[in-house]
Amino acid sequence: MNEFSATLLTFALGAYVAGMVGALLFQRAERLANVIGFGLATAGGVCGVISFASALATGAATVSRSFELFPSLIPYVRFSIHADALGCFFGLIISLLAVALSIYSLGYARGYYGHKNVGALAALFNALLLATTLVFLADHALFFLIAWEIMALSAYCLVSFEHEHEETRDAGVLYFVMSHIGTACLILGFLLLFQASGSYGFDSFHALGDNMPAGQRNAVFLLFLFGFGVKAGMVPLHIWLPAAHPVAPSNVSALMSGVLIKTGIYGMTRVFFDFMGAPPNWWGVTVLTIGTISAVLGVLFALMEHDLKRLLAYHSIENIGIILMGLGAALMFLHSGHPALASLALIAGLYHTINHAVFKALLFLGAGAILHATHTRNMEEMGGLIKRMPKTAVCFLIGAVAISALPPLNGFVSEWLTYQSLLQGFGTTTSLIRLMFPLSGAMLALTGALAAACFVKAFGITFLAQPRSEHARQAHEAPFTMLLGQGILTAACVFLGLFPALFLKLFDPLTQQLTGQQLSQQLSTANGLVLSGVAAHGGTVSTLGLTLMLLCLLPVPLVLCLLFARRSKTRIAPTWDCGQRGLTPQMEYTATGFSKPIRMIFKTLFRPHREVQREYDFSPYFATTIRFESHVEEVFQTRIYRPLKWLVLRASRRLRALQAGSLQAYLIYIFVTLLLLLLFAL
């Protein structure tokens, strides 16, 4: 990292610290706290973006050295950071989001004036940004864990920000517990690594896996997969995610879904590709399988939601799955000795990481704007918002197209890269395992199509047709800062979609670091306008070209209109209601109705439960009131976690015997433990 980047990085970190302190100092004056806290966060984000982007673009990231942030007084702990290519890439993601989210928060936080502590919100937000940036940059296992814990803690506080609701408190606790189970695994993993290398510095871990005995190495893999998997929200460790993300303030939800779960991806990439050396085949197979399952299950559960933010949260699980598919394929290619393909799959996964960060944050911001305007997350009470919040609607629509992996936006580009790597993967081995690639590809296709269905529902039910409630009818457009925040992310979606080749250059130092390959030249042809698969003639795509061609073809219908429809007029009339006395919002299709076919087709998974009660005077066909209730079973809660919880509680009840309540008893425990340890040491 050169002087310029390093200075800016220091500025960025400083801005976060200042924002945190400033917001706390001025918490009595909430307007000031808001401006100072989120203003400084914006400034920090801008510095971060420039710093990380320039480090990646100039290749400075490849030659960066580790330096100590501040001296440590504790033995074994060094507060050193190292902005290498991988760290810079993830730093870029969080900085980019920091800019958009902080600007958005300036407007969003106004909704809390008078009844919540905005200063605390801003301070925690800055703390979260700071801690997460440090997680990406930490160069020392213990420092990493400290940053990781600060991140988890500030995220917990932010999730519980609206703690007056019971749902929020429960979600916060669930998040906290799951997060710590994960951290415990990480600690064990790092201890194993320490055992092998004798140091906690990340530089000593590099390619360490090659020198470790197989059993230990596999244990490290599993521990980190589990530990980071909890954070990333991969199935079946995801249950905290759809609980915690929706209840947080929307700017925080965006940050959590956009970046926080990506710390898990960062950790896996760091450990699997940087530390572990040449992987055995089953690692890749495991990651690919988990990715595929997460993707499909995530989107299926998302379809069943009619809480807009929960729906988005389940989509995070889906997208983590897609990212893991890229990483898993990359591991398999590394095993079979195809570094170029491994780089392609890795790029596909990481490109999807930044894409998901951008469009998911955008969608959460849109959901926040809607929540701000209608005071509900329930889609069944929305509708017709496109006329009341037109600009938010455009941003949300672009986000929806992007997340559904439709051309020409960014989601399509990264999924295209994933498909390409899966397709090329078939030829890398002759064993049966190669069937994994096309089958995962088919599941990816299923995921994409279901995601499109889900976002037709999300956008259609929320924004289109008639308002379904008074709140929705009274909705108003979001303030300028909130729109600006969404606008920045919308622009990022379009940019990442239309100009992938420009962005792919930033991956060169990264793949150079992790797989020793630079692919951006091979990946783009025709002056960077066309993206091509790595293999010769493997296939090309140009989102920009397609967009331009769409514009070129636009004259066709326009000329037809001119030729034929010159004199035709347009009249606005009521929707066709079959000659009845007009349509009411009650007659519109609901979110629950929209996903019913999917619920029926996958009923083995969802186990839908339906209850209909009618009250009628003389015949059930002329009901006066109908009460309809429909649930799907949360399979993971009921089948895995509930029995687990039951077991733990039962075990705890047994252990309660130990808790005698007398001081002597506790002293004996400590004494006995000490004796045992001493004996063990002998």
Rule CB under 8 A: say whether 333 interacts with other proteins.
no
Cβ at position 561, least distance to other proteins in Å? 6
Cβ at position 539, least distance to other proteins in Å? 3
Cβ at position 182, least distance to other proteins in Å? 32
In the region spanning residues 53 to 72, those forming contacts with other proteins, defined by CB under 8 A, are none
Q: Which CB, 16 or 396, lies closer to other proteins?
A: 396
Q: Which CB, 527 or 662, lies closer to other proteins?
A: 527
Rule CB under 8 A: say whether 523 interacts with other proteins.
no
Rule CB under 8 A: say whether 295 interacts with other proteins.
no
Among 321, 328, 460, 509, binds other proteins (CB under 8 A): 460
Rule CB under 8 A: say whether 663 interacts with other proteins.
no
Rule CB under 8 A: say whether 573 interacts with other proteins.
yes
Structure tokens at 243: 């609980």
How would you class 383 by CB atoms within 10 Å of its CB: exposed for 0-12, middle for 13-18, buried for 19 or more?
buried
Rule CB under 8 A: say whether 560 interacts with other proteins.
yes
Tokens 């690919």 — which residue?
Answer: 288
Rule CB under 8 A: say whether 466 interacts with other proteins.
yes
Q: Side chain identity at 111, as an amino acid letter? A: G
Rule CB under 8 A: say whether 450 interacts with other proteins.
yes
Query: DSSP code of 233?
Result: T
Q: How far apart are CA 269 and CA 87, in angstroms?
A: 10
How many of the other CB atoms lie within 10 Å of CB of 375? 13
Cβ at position 381, least distance to other proteins in Å? 15
* Cα of 652 vs its chain's centroid, Å: 34
Residues 6+ apart with CB under 8 A from 239: 174, 178, 634, 636, 637, 641
Q: Nearest CA to 223 among 275, 156, 297?
A: 275
Q: Which CB, 221 or 455, lies closer to other proteins?
A: 455
Tokens 């993830």 — which residue?
Answer: 90
Structure tokens at 316: 């995070």
Q: How far apart are CA 84 and CA 363, in angstroms?
A: 30
Among 149, 540, 623, 635, binds other proteins (CB under 8 A): 540
Cβ at position 291, least distance to other proteins in Å? 16
Rule CB under 8 A: say whether 502 interacts with other proteins.
no
Q: How far apart are CA 205 and CA 275, in angstroms?
A: 5
- Find out whether the peptide bond into 408 is cis, omega within 30 degrees of 0: yes
Cβ at position 253, least distance to other proteins in Å? 24
* Residue 541 DSSP SS3: strand
Rule CB under 8 A: say whether 559 interacts with other proteins.
no
Cβ at position 496, least distance to other proteins in Å? 16
Q: Which CB, 431 or 664, lies closer to other proteins?
A: 431
123 touches 157 (CB < 8 A): no
Q: Which residues, listed in sequence order, are joined to residue 138 by a DSSP beta bridge?
A: 81
Determine the interface stretch with other proteins among 118-126, 217-225, 251-259, 541-549 (rule: CB under 8 A): 541-549
Rule CB under 8 A: say whether 455 interacts with other proteins.
yes
Structure tokens at 274: 């940087």
Determine the interface stretch with other proteins among 167-175, 268-276, 340-348, 445-453 (rule: CB under 8 A): 445-453
Q: Which CB, 102 or 447, lies closer to other proteins?
A: 447
Cα-flanking dihedrals φ and ψ of residue 430, to 5°? -105, -5
Rule CB under 8 A: say whether 401 interacts with other proteins.
yes
Among 67, 76, 480, 589, binds other proteins (CB under 8 A): 589
Structure tokens at 649: 């509680």
Determine the interface stretch with other proteins among 71-79, 245-253, 594-602, 642-650 (rule: CB under 8 A): 594-602
Q: Which CB, 432 or 682, lies closer to other proteins?
A: 432
- The DSSP string of 20-84 is HHHHHHTTTSHHHHHHHHHHHHHHHHHHHHHHHHHHHHTTGGGG---EEEE---STT--EEE---
330 touches 288 (CB < 8 A): no
Cβ at position 348, least distance to other proteins in Å? 13
Q: How far apart are CA 316 and CA 595, in angstroms?
A: 19
Q: How far apart are CA 358 and CA 130, in angstroms?
A: 19
Among 419, 503, 507, 606, binds other proteins (CB under 8 A): 419
Structure tokens at 488: 């920045």
Cβ at position 322, least distance to other proteins in Å? 14
Rule CB under 8 A: say whether 476 interacts with other proteins.
no
Rule CB under 8 A: say whether 626 interacts with other proteins.
no
Among 177, 600, 612, 668, binds other proteins (CB under 8 A): 600
Among 63, 550, 651, 665, binds other proteins (CB under 8 A): 550
Rule CB under 8 A: say whether 594 interacts with other proteins.
yes
Determine the interface stretch with other proteins among 196-204, 280-288, 487-495, 525-533 (rule: CB under 8 A): 525-533
Binding-residue total with other proteins (CB under 8 A): 95
Strands 524-525 and 79-81: unpaired
Rule CB under 8 A: say whether 575 interacts with other proteins.
yes
Q: How far apart are CA 63 and CA 51, in angstroms?
A: 15
Q: Which CB, 516 or 555, lies closer to other proteins?
A: 555
* Residue 146 DSSP SS3: helix
